[in-house]
Chains A and B, each alone.
Chain A
Amino acid sequence: MSTTYQKPTERGYYGQFGGAFIPEMLYPNVEELRHNYLDIMAEPAFQEEYQQLLRDYVGRPTPLFEAKRLSEKYNTRIFLKREDLCHTGAHKVNNTVGQILLAKRLGKTRIIAETGAGQHGVATATVCALMGMQCIVYMGEIDMERQKPNVYRMRLLGAEVRAAMSGSRTLKDATNEAIRDWISNPVDTHYIIGSVVGPHPYPDLVARLQAVISEEMRKQLLEKTGSELPQYVVACVGGGSNAAGAFYHFLEEPSVKLVAVEAAGHGVNSGHSAATSVLGKPGIIHGSRTLLMQDEDGQITEPYSLSAGLDYPGIGPLHAFLADSGRARFISIEDEPALKAVAECSRLEGIIPALETAHALAALGQLGAGPDDVVVVNLSGRGDKDLETYIKYADAIM
C-alpha cells in the first residue's frame, strides 16, 4: 500500500486503484512509456524546453487572482487560479506541451488524443501544429455537436477530428476509439491522454505535468497571504486532471482541505449523473482499476452531465484513492446550480468560466469556510466554448 498520495507504486497503484489493464497489443507502447517517462522528464534539456514553452507559449505562471466580490458573497477569502488564461483557454495545454516533448524524444511521428469538451483536443492540436506532427482527435458525436467551436478550432489547427459513434457517443467512447487507434498503430503513434486516467504511467505522468498549477499556487499564496498553504483547494473532477494539478503539492499537507467537485447532472440518484465517487464501485475502465459507474454485471453505465468535460463514468485512480481514504472531500453539483454559478462568477468578477469549472464554483457555499480562511478555486478553463449552452439556458442563468 502506498503511503504517499503523490507517487504511485512501481506498478502504478494508489492503494487498490491504478495498474495497467491493457491488451497485449498495447503492452510494448505502455512499457516503453513506463520505462522512459521519468528519465526523460528529468533530463535538463527536456526541462529547459518544457519550462520555456510553459512561459513563452502557454503564458505561465498564470495569475492567482483574489476574487473580492465572490469573497464578500461567501464571507471567506477566495482566490481564483487563472488556468483559463493559459493559451487555448484551459489547463489542458500544460499536459500536452509536456507530452509532445516526450513523444518527440520517443521518436513518435503521429499523435492521437480523445476529447470530451474539446479543450484537450484543442490543446493537443495546438502543440501538434507547433511541432509539425500529424494529429488525430477522437470526440463523441454528441460532444462534437455541443462543443462545436472547439471542433472548428481543432480543424483550423490542422487536426483531423474523428467522431466516436458507439455507446453514449461521449468522452468514454472517444477514449475507446483512441485506444483502438493506438492498437492499430503501435509503432509510430503516441497517445496523449488528457486526464489522470488510463493505464500506468498515464495518471502519474499527467499529474506531474499538471503539478505546475499547485507549485505556482504555493509561491503565489506566500506572496499574497504570507503562507504557502490555504485552508481549501477546490477543483472540478471529470477524469480529474485539473484537480490533480491543483492538489498535487498539497497532497502531503494535511492542514489543506482538498475538495473535488463532481457533476451530479439531474441529481445523484436521478439516473442522469456523473458523480462517480458516490455512484461508482471498484472496476476497470480504460486500463486502470478505479471507481467506476457500472451495473451489477460490470457493464459500464452511461454517465450524464450537461458539461461535456465531466461526462465520464470513472475518475482517475489517484482521485479514487483520495475519495476512498478520505483525504479529499467529494461534493456533487447538479447542472442547474452550475449554470447559476456561471452567471455569478461572470457578474461578480467579470470572468466567464467554463461549465466544468462552474461546478467547482457552485460548491463554494458548501465548504463551511470562515472569514479568515483562504480558499483557492482552480479556474480550469474559460467559458467561450460553452456559449451555445449558456445561450440555450439563458433563462436559467440570467
Chain B
Amino acid sequence: MNRIQQAFEKKQRGLLNIYFTAGYPTLDATVPLIKAISAAGADLIEIGMPFSDPLADGPVIQQSSTVALANGMNMRVLFRQLEGIREEVAETPILLMGYLNPVMQFGVENFCREAAAAGVDGIILPDLPLDDYVAEYQETFRQHNLRPVFLITPQTAPERIRRIDELTDSFLYLVSGPGTTGGQNTQAEGVQEAYFQRIEAMNLRNPRLIGFGIGDKASFQNACQHAEGAIIGSALIRALEGVDDAPGAATRFIQSVIK
C-alpha cells in the first residue's frame, strides 16, 4: 500500500489536499511550506512544478508560476530542495503537479527516479494523454512506484472514467465544472450534484477528490459531501501573496478551512 492509499484508509471522509507552487513566494519557501501545510492538518500535498504556459490553470496559479520561475525554480532545484523531506514529513503523501514539456526535457526516466528518491508518491500531468501514458510512461512510473492521477470532468464518458480508474491506485481528480483552476464555479448546483452522484454510483476502485473552484470552508465542506475530499490551490496562493511569513499564512489559511 502506498502513502496515498494509506491516507485514504486512515481518514475516510473530509480529506484536504493542498496545492502550492514550488518556489513561491520565495525560492526557499518550498520546504517550510511543506512542513507547515502538513502540520496544519492537510492530508495530502500537491507541489506545482512551475511552467511558463500552464494551460489548465487560471491567472492566480500562472502568476505564482511566473514568480517562481523568476525566483530561479526549476526541476533540479526542486529535487535538491526535496532531498530529506521524508525525514521532516514522514507520512503525508506528496504529489507533483505540472506540465509535460518540462518533464520531457528533464527526461521522464530521470524525473521518475528523482521523484521516487525524494519520496514523492504521485504525479499529476494534465496534458499527458491517457494513451501516451499507457504506451510510453506507465512502465517507468510503475518501476518507481509513482501513482499517476488523472482528471475527470463532467464531460468524461463513463467507459473512460472506468479506464482511468483501472490505471491508477491513488485517487480520481474530479474537476468540479468547466473552467481552469481558481475560477468561480459557473455550473448550476443541480447539474454539479448530478455529476458527482453519477460518479459515486459507478462504485469505482479509487477514492475521489474534487478540485477547481474550492477555496474556503463552505466550498470545502460542500465538496466533502460529494467525495472523500477536495483540493485547494489558488485560494492558498492568494493567501501567500505579499506575506513575509509564508508558512504562517499557509497555516492560518488551512485552519480557516478545516477548523
Contact = CB atoms under 8 A, between A and B. Distances in A.
A187 interface: yes
B52 A24 contact: no
Interface string B115-130: 0000000000011110
A292 B66 CA distance: 19
B41 interface: no
B103 A23 contact: no
Contact of B101 (A19, A25, A285): A285
A21 B69 CA distance: 23
B200 interface: no
Contacts of B221: none
Interface string A132-174: 0000000000000000000000000000000000110000100
A283 B104 contact: yes
Contacts of B160: 27
Given A176-B53, A180-B180, A184-B180, A297 B156 contact: no
Contacts of B52: 167, 299-300
B85 interface: no
A133 B250 CA distance: 46
A59 interface: no
Contacts of B75: 297
Interface string B221-241: 000000000000000000000
B100 interface: yes
A59 B122 CA distance: 56
Contact of A183 (B56, B62, B152): B56
B151 A298 contact: no
Nearest to B100: A284
Contact of B131 (A11, A183, A300): A11
Interface string B174-217: 01001110010010000000000000000000000000000000
Given A19-B129, A21-B129, A299-B51, A283 B105 contact: yes
Interface string A41-77: 0000000000000000000000000000000000000
A337 interface: no
B101 A186 contact: no
A179 B57 CA distance: 11
B105 A25 contact: no
Contacts, number: 100
Contacts of B32: none
Interface string B99-119: 111111110000000000000
Interface residues of A, number: 33
B55 interface: yes
Contacts of A186: 153, 155, 178
Contact of A300 (B101, B126, B128, B186): B101
A185 B75 CA distance: 33
B58 interface: yes
A267 interface: no
Nearest to B105: A298
Interface in B133-170: 150-153, 155-157, 160
Contact of A22 (B58, B129, B152, B155): B129
Nearest to B177: A184
A183 B180 contact: yes
Contacts of B84: none
A283 B104 CA distance: 8
B5 interface: no
Interface in A4-28: 11, 19-25, 27-28
Nearest to B57: A180
Interface in A214-241: none
Contacts of B101: 283-285, 292, 294, 298, 300
B74 interface: yes
B152 A24 contact: yes
A21 B127 contact: yes
Contacts of B175: 24-25
A296 interface: yes
Interface of B: 51-53, 55-56, 58-59, 62, 66, 69, 74-75, 99-106, 126-129, 131-132, 150-153, 155-157, 160, 175, 178-180, 183, 186
The 10 closest A-B pairs by CB, nearest first: A298-B105, A298-B102, A24-B151, A23-B126, A28-B155, A299-B52, A23-B56, A297-B74, A298-B101, A184-B179
Given A285-B101, A298-B102, 10 more contacts: A20-B129, A21-B132, A24-B153, A27-B155, A27-B156, A28-B155, A179-B55, A183-B179, A184-B179, A298-B105
29 contacts: A20-B129, A21-B129, A21-B132, A23-B126, A23-B127, A24-B126, A24-B150, A25-B151, A25-B153, A25-B155, A25-B178, A27-B153, A28-B153, A28-B155, A166-B62, A167-B53, A176-B55, A183-B180, A184-B186, A187-B155, A284-B100, A284-B104, A285-B53, A286-B55, A296-B105, A297-B105, A299-B51, A299-B102, A300-B52
